[in-house]
Each structure stands twice: as structure tokens, then as C-alpha cells.
Amino acid sequence: MQPSRSRSGRSRSGPRSRRRLALAALLVASLAVGPLPATADAPAPYTLAHDSTLSPAARMAPGTNLLVVGIDRRSGLTPQQKQRLFVNGKECDCTDVMMLVHLAEDGKRLSVVSLPRDSYVRFAPHDHPQHSGKINGAFQHGGPDLAVRTVERATGIRVDHYLETGFEDFATAVDRLGGAKVCTDRLLEDPKSGLRLPPGTHLLDGPGALRYARARKVSPPGDLGRVRRQQRVLLGMIDRLSAAGVFKDPMALAGAAQALLPQLRTDAGTGLSTLFSIGWQLRELSPAQLEFATVPMSAFDHRVAQWGSTLLWDDARAARLFSALREDRPITQELSLQAVPVAMAPSTVPVRVDDPDVAEGLRRSGFDVTKAQAPLVRAEGPTVITYDPYWDRYASTLAAALPGAKLNPVAGHGHVFQVKVGNGGRQVAEVTYDRSMVEGAPSTGEQLRCP
């Protein structure tokens, strides 16, 4: 592995850095003679096999792809461990987390795409009649092999490396790597996962990061908000390691890779040298060169016998997203929307507006609009939205449609939102209720990181 070079052809690193890189290479070579042997607690690596439906172009596509999964497995944990990690429920022995991670061929971009656990997809062939199901069930039906091949079949993306961890191993890995930095502008509380995070910036330890990543009963609820928090944990770990200079220090990077590998189950072709190589390529990446997205959805409660409520991917937009990954292009340019995505359906927001033009603009986005009598003289200043704070989660949807408007919560105001248009302008933005783009829209690390 060589240090990066400037346009003049000379190494950017000096003699000291080259010596440290050489020492790190020797350390990696001495430790990476092969995958770690299986133990009672660490299953053997498996031999990665690609799905038969992968196209020749996908098999030869540029860049490196990792499938990172977290397994919902509690067997082997002591009662004390379960209590510490808040995982006392019933295990499903399925994938609780699935992320496709793409490292660009030139090493100048890292893209992370989350595959929500309830996504309804066609399983790759295995020891059952051909069928579809929730993507997290592929592991349960056929272990890592079926999980990998099912992801390849659903996405058309070649998987080069497989990284798997469980609850305890994830927490240990976060601790060994120094924690994950996350932030929130409001209290996040979910008694079921044990999460209680006050507003502010926090450096989470392993159990704390697990609680944050697994919470489902915080706003926005369900899998889409959950997978965004999982992405934020990953970003928080990368951000903290980068700030500490780990990616640019070969010896520190080798030590981090050595600390991480025992907490992972991998395919037979993935080892310490793989982790070191990936980390070394991250050394030049800025937060703006990190991308995070969730597969866009078309249905959020698709009912299927034996599987219950599932998520359906938006075929057209998902195809564009995966094409960008295959072609080694930025994903942040693929799923841009003309309208502003909002968290609540506009049709569920009753509005009384005292300006006919603004009322018509809101109606075009689907708001339930009633016209109020216009004042003889417009008030100075911005448009004011008055509402009962009980309906607070709907207020952001209306505010997104009225840029610059001031929110005025008044207890007892009632269900209808009152809009008094100020003389500062009558701009109305088009909004759309697209839940997969509210929390899962392609975003850079610069947009998601803590300030």
C-alpha cells in the first residue's frame, strides 16, 4: 500500500510517515495471514458467492462494495448483558440492520445506502420454493450466503465484502474505537430501547450507541427514522476517528482495525488488511464526500400473508439509486425532488388563510384550506401561523410550505391552523408527503454531522 502522491509525482508523506506506513504494513501482514479462526462465540467466515442474476457489468463495476449487517441475536448473552444492552425481548435471528457501503474507485467518495429491515423483496434461490419476504428474513432462511445473494438480486450491486456483528459485539466495537458522536435538537426517549438523550451533542459509548441505533418509538417513529440514526452513528464514529487523526496515522489505523476485526464475522476474503485498506482510503475524505441515503419507498404498509406489514420500494427511484452506485456516481444527485418533502400529509393539516393567493398555493400541495376574510391592511413582518401545540408535529409541514413564516403556538387554539399573511411576502413552496425522503433523502456527511 502506497501513500498518496501529489501531481508532481512525489509522495505527500515524509520519511517518518513512510516508516510508519511500512511498520503498519508489517503489523497488518503479521496479523492478516488469514481470517480469524472460528470459536464457540465466533462462527467461521463463509465463502462469498454472487447471485446468478448479477449482470456482467455489475460484476465488473468500479469501486468496492461492503454489506454491513447487524444481527438480532440474543442467544449466548447473559441476563446481565441483556439488561445492560436493553435486549430482553425475543430474538429473530435476522438482520436488524442492513447497509450497502460503496467506496468509489478513486477513493474520493463513500456512499452508504440503508435497506430497511421490512423491505419486501424476492429472495435468491435457496432450500425453499421461490418466494418473496422481508429482506431481514433472508439471513434467517439461509445465513450470510442467502442474505448476500438476496441483496445482490434486489439491488443489482455486487457485494465484495461482508461484515456482520451482533448486539454485544457492536457495543464492544464502538467502545474500542472510542465512541460515536451524535447530536439532537430535542429530547429523544424510548423506554423500550433504553434511550434517553437530552438535546445537545453527545459522545455515546457502546451500549448508548446501540440504544440510539435501535430506538423505534421516537419521532419520527418506525424504521425510516431508525435507519437515519444508524447512519448517524456510523458518521459519528468516522467523524470522531477522523478528528483524532486515526485514518492518517498508519500505526493508529492498524491498531483500530485490529481492535475492530474480532467483533466482526466476515467472508473468507475479508481480514485485517481489508479494514486497513478501507480506513487508509478514508484519510482524505471530508464530510462532504460522505453520502447517506435510504432506499426510496412507494408503500409503507403493504400487507402480506405470513409477513405482515412490509415496505415496498419505489422501483423507478430505487433503480436510479442503484444505477448510480454501480456506475460509481454520486447518489446525492439522483433522487432530488422539486418539492420540499414533509413529515405529515398536507391533507391532514386544516388551514384557515386570510390571503386568496396563499390559500390557492397551499391547496395545490394538498392542504385542507378554508379561506378567511382578508384584512384591510396587512400586518408588518412575517406571516404568522397560530396553532394549538397539541398539533405540533403538523406545524413543520405547514411551515415548510410558507418559507419565513413565524410559528405561534397557543394552547386551546383548536385543530385548525390559522395563517395571517404578513406584508413580507406571499411565497408558497410546493411540498410533498414522501416519508422516505423526509428521513432517508440522500444527504452528505456535512449535512448530517453535528455542528
Q: Which pLDDT band holds residue 8 (cuts at 50, 70, 90)? A: very low
Q: Each residue of 386-395: pLDDT tens digit? A: 999 999 989 9
Looking at residues 426-436, what average pLDDT do you find? Answer: 83
- Long-range contact set of residues 132-138: C-beta below 8 Å, sequence gap at least 24: 132/304, 133/304, 133/306, 133/307, 134/94, 134/307, 134/310, 135/95, 135/98, 136/72, 136/92, 136/94, 136/95, 136/96, 136/98, 137/94, 137/307, 138/95
Q: Each residue of 118-154: pLDDT tens digit? A: 999 999 998 888 889 999 999 999 999 999 999 999 9
Instruction: Tell me the percentage of the chain whose pLDDT exceeds 90.
Output: 62
**3-state SS, one letter per residue, for 97-138:** EEEEEEECCCCCCEEEEECCCCEEEECCCECECCCEEECCHH
Q: Each residue of 167-201: pLDDT tens digit? A: 999 999 999 999 999 999 889 999 888 999 999 99
Structure-block grid coordinates of residue 177: 474505537
Q: Which of 69, 282, 63 minimizes the C-alpha distance to 158?
A: 63
Structure-block grid coordinates of residue 272: 485485517
Please report the pLDDT score of residue 46 as a whole number.
Answer: 81
Higher pLDDT, 21 or 445: 445
**C-alpha–C-alpha distance, residues 397 and 433, integer Å:** 9
Q: Which pLDDT band holds residue 402 (cuts at 50, 70, 90)? A: very high
Higher pLDDT, 294 or 380: 294
Q: Which of 412, 415, 417, 388 minimizes the C-alpha distance to 400?
A: 417
Q: Each residue of 348-374: pLDDT tens digit? A: 999 999 999 999 999 998 999 998 888
Among all chains, which residue has been given the C-alpha cell 397560530?
A: 386
Looking at residues 43-61, what average pLDDT do you find? Answer: 89
Looking at residues 380-408, what average pLDDT do you find? Answer: 94
Q: Is the pTM of this model over 0.85?
A: no
Whether 58 shows a pLDDT value over 90: the answer reads yes
Whether 250 shows a pLDDT value over 80: the answer reads yes
Whether 50 shows a pLDDT value over 60: the answer reads yes
Whether 11 shows a pLDDT value over 90: the answer reads no
Please report the pLDDT score of residue 297 as a whole number.
Answer: 87
**3-state SS, one letter per residue, for 246-309:** CCCCHHHHHHHHHHHHHHCEEECCCCHHHHHHHHHHHHHCCHHHEEEEECCEEEEEEEECCCEE
Q: Which pLDDT band holds residue 31 (cuts at 50, 70, 90)? A: very low
3-17, 313-327, 341-355: the lowest-pLDDT one: 3-17
Q: Each residue of 371-383: pLDDT tens digit? A: 888 888 888 889 9
For the ranges 6-20, 53-67, 178-192, 206-220, the maximum mean pLDDT occurs at 53-67
Q: Which pLDDT band holds residue 4 (cuts at 50, 70, 90)? A: very low
Average pLDDT, the chain: 87
Q: Which pLDDT band holds residue 7 (cuts at 50, 70, 90)? A: very low
Looking at residues 312-326, what average pLDDT do you find? Answer: 92
Q: Which of 173, 152, 154 minimizes the C-alpha distance to 162?
A: 152
- CATH of region 15-337+438-448: 3.40.630.190
**C-alpha–C-alpha distance, residues 57 and 366, integer Å:** 43
Whether 345 shows a pLDDT value over 60: the answer reads yes
Please report the pLDDT score of residue 20 as a whole number.
Answer: 61
Looking at residues 200-226, what average pLDDT do you find? Answer: 87
Cα–Cα distances in angstroms (integers) from residue 231 to residues 191, 266, 283, 312, in the given order:
21, 20, 19, 21
Q: At what angle do helices 272-281 and 15-31 cross, to 10 degrees?
A: 150
Whether 28 shows a pLDDT value over 60: the answer reads no
Looking at residues 241-259, what average pLDDT do you find? Answer: 91
